[in-house]
């Protein structure tokens, strides 16, 4: 994309006009989103009965936790300029393995969780390895793998749910840590913190950003981009698996249809949250906090609209509009900033 360079981090000293960090914060996606969230939340709280009820706050928070995790999973691969259509399929497959391990094999919960998460990462490895080996765009590879993963899962489970999970799983999904706070949201916040540190300070995280911003330059400076891209896909699989387990905890059962046909229902939240949060689709730039804020905004809007008795189905169309507006606003912002010589 022609404008891809516009949003890259500014190397110190080379910017036409250096911005103060305060200015950069004000122009960033995160700040705008935070203001938007505060405004909508305040409006809904004042005008809608029941929006601030403990139950409503609790369920919105829990759903924010899940949607953010799905968004982070996609973000981890968007970094490379690629994408992963199979996030939903990986999430469901990991959740089904989780259910099978506990219900059929009698594996204790604390052992089943890491196994399921590792399984998600290994499915991500399959994607990443195939993408790097074939040199074909990740769109078509993950289109194929979403069909294969989901097909194998349905074939093995006979499309039946695992309902007899240990009671701790459901209890965890219904638990309140503080009044109105779900542990699922806390897990997400912890993962966000870990990812911020990972992308900012770890070698692998920085290599991921470099490979995504300019694969050739990264290769020339000694980064083995192939391995890095495989690692990105593994991270995607791992986060998708965590999201799958979170949904399992919420419903109290591992259900094959939890992400829709082929896991397609996860695609919208997966792209909406990172794009709202300012992650560039062409790669090279991530915003973990932006993704969290994006998911927060979506869920506040959705529950507000539901309370206003806007039909559930129209909300789907509304979210699509929101994705459109988000990318259009982002493009306008880039053009504006470029024309003012600010980036």
Partner 1 sequence: MAAIRDSALTRAFDNDWIGPGLVSLIAVVAISMAQPAFLSSFNIFVLMSAISVNMVIALGQLVIIGLGQMNLALGSIGGLVAISFVGVIERYGVPVPLALAFALGIGIAAGMSSGYIIARTMISAFIITLAGLQIFKGINLGITEAQPFYGVPEAVKTFGQASVIGPLPWLMVPMMICAFAMWYVFNRMRIGRHILAMGSNPHAAELSGIDPKATIIWAHAISGLLAAIAGLMLVARLQIGQPTIGDDWLISSFAAPVIGGAVLTGGRVSVAGTFFGVVIIAIITQGLVMFNIDPFVVQIVLGALILWAVAVNRLREVRIARVQARGAGA
Q: Which residues of the chain form contacts with partner 1 (CB under 8 A)? A: 1-3, 83, 130, 134-137, 139-141, 143-148, 150-152, 154-155, 159, 261-262, 264, 267-268, 271, 275, 281-282, 311, 313-321, 323-324, 327-328, 331
For residues 79 and 283, is the Cβ–Cβ distance under 8 A? yes
Nearer to partner 1, 155 or 201 (CB): 155
For residues 153 and 93, is the Cβ–Cβ distance under 8 A? yes
Residue whose tokens read 């992650």: 279
For residues 88 and 267, is the Cβ–Cβ distance under 8 A? yes
Alpha helices, DSSP H only, in 135-214? 138-157, 167-174, 183-201, 203-213
Residue whose tokens read 């094959």: 256
CB of residue 282 to partner 1, shortest distance in Å: 8
Nearer to partner 1, 26 or 159 (CB): 159
Nearer to partner 1, 40 or 147 (CB): 147
Nearer to partner 1, 153 or 240 (CB): 153
- Dist. CA 182–CA 169, nearest whole Å: 13
CB of residue 16 to partner 1, shortest distance in Å: 24
Residue whose tokens read 């504006």: 336
Nearer to partner 1, 182 or 299 (CB): 299
CB of residue 286 to partner 1, shortest distance in Å: 16
Nearer to partner 1, 219 or 265 (CB): 265
Burial (Cβ within 10 Å: 0-12, 13-18, ≥19) of residue 71:
buried
- Dist. CA 111–CA 116, nearest whole Å: 9
């Amino acid at each position: 994309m022609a404008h891809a360079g516009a949003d890259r981090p500014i190397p110190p000293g080379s910017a036409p006009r250096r911005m103060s960090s305060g200015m950069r914060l004000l122009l960033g996606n995160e700040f705008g989103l935070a203001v938007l969230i505060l405004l909508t939340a305040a409006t809904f709280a004042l005008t809608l009965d029941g929006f601030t009820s403990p139950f409503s706050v609790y369920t919105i928070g829990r759903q924010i936790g899940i949607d953010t995790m799905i968004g982070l999973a996609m973000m981890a691969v968007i970094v490379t300029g690629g994408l992963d259509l199979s996030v939903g399929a990986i999430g469901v497959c990991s959740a089904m393995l989780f259910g099978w391990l506990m219900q059929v094999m009698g594996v204790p919960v604390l052992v089943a969780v890491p196994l399921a998460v590792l399984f998600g990462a290994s499915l991500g490895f399959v994607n990443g390895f195939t993408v790097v080996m074939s040199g074909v765009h990740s769109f078509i590879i993950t289109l194929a793998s979403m069909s294969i993963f989901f097909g194998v899962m349905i074939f093995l489970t006979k499309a039946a749910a695992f309902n007899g999970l240990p009671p701790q799983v459901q209890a965890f999904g219904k638990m309140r840590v503080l009044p109105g706070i779900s542990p699922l949201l806390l897990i997400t916040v912890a993962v966000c913190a870990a990812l911020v540190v990972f992308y900012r300070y770890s070698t692998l995280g920085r290599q991921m950003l470099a490979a995504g911003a300019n694969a050739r330059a990264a290769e020339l400076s000694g980064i083995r981009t192939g391995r890095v891209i495989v690692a990105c896909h593994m991270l995607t699989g791992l986060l998708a698996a965590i999201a799958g387990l979170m949904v399992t905890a919420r419903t109290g059962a591992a259900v094959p249809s939890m992400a829709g046909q082929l896991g397609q229902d996860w695609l919208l939240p997966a792209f909406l949250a990172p794009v709202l949060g300012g992650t560039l689709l062409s790669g090279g730039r991530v915003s973990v906090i932006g993704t969290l804020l994006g998911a927060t905004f979506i869920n506040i809007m959705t529950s507000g609209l539901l309370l206003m008795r806007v039909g559930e189905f129209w909300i789907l169309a509304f979210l699509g509009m929101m994705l459109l507006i988000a990318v259009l606003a982002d493009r306008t912002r880039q053009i504006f900033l470029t024309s003012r010589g600010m980036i």
